[in-house]
Amino acid sequence: MDTVWHGVLHALGIAGSMTWQVTWSLILGFALSAIIEALVKKSTIARLLPDDSPKSLATATALGAASSSCSYAAVALARALFRKGANFTSAMAFQFASTNLVIELGLILALLLGWQFTAAEFVGGPFMIVLLALIFRRLLRPKLVHGAREQADRAVAGSMEGHAAMDMSVAGDGSFWRRLLSPAGFTSVSHNFVMEWAAVLRDIVIGLLIAGAAAAWIPDSFWQNLFFTGHPLAAKIWGPIIGPLVAVAAFVCSIGNVPLAAVLWNGGISFGGVVSFIFADLIIIPILLIYRKYYGARMMWFLATTFYVTMVAAGYVVELLFSPLHLVPTGPRHARLGQDGITWNYTSWLNVMFLLLAALLVWRFFSTGGRQMLAMMGGGPDDMAGGESGPDDMASSESGRAT
Round to the nearest angstrom and report the end-to-end CA distance of the chain: 57
Report pLDDT digits (tens) over 117-136: 999 999 999 999 999 999 99
The interaxial angle of helices 271-279 and 115-139, nearest 10 deg, is 60
Residue 349, judged by CB atoms within 10 A of its CB (0-12, 13-18, 19+), counts as exposed
Query: Of 43, 88, 95, 90, whose CA–CA distance to 74 is shortest?
Result: 95
CA distance 17 to 299: 41
* pLDDT at 340 (0 to 100): 58
Note the pLDDT of residue 188.
87
* Cα 245 from chain centre: 18
Give the residue extent of every domain in the chain.
2-402
Q: 41, 192 in Cβ contact below 8 A?
A: no
Of the candidates 322, 329, 268, the residue with the CA atom closest to the CA atom of residue 127: 322
Q: What is the pLDDT of residue 225?
A: 92
What pLDDT, on the 0 to 100 scale, is given for residue 338?
58
Q: Which residues of the chain have pLDDT under 50?
A: 384-403
pLDDT for the residue 132:
96
Decide if 120 contacts 275 (C-beta within 8 A).
yes
What's the CA gap between 191 and 274, in Å, rounded?
33
User: Residue 314's pLDDT is what?
Assistant: 97
- pLDDT of res. 400: 43
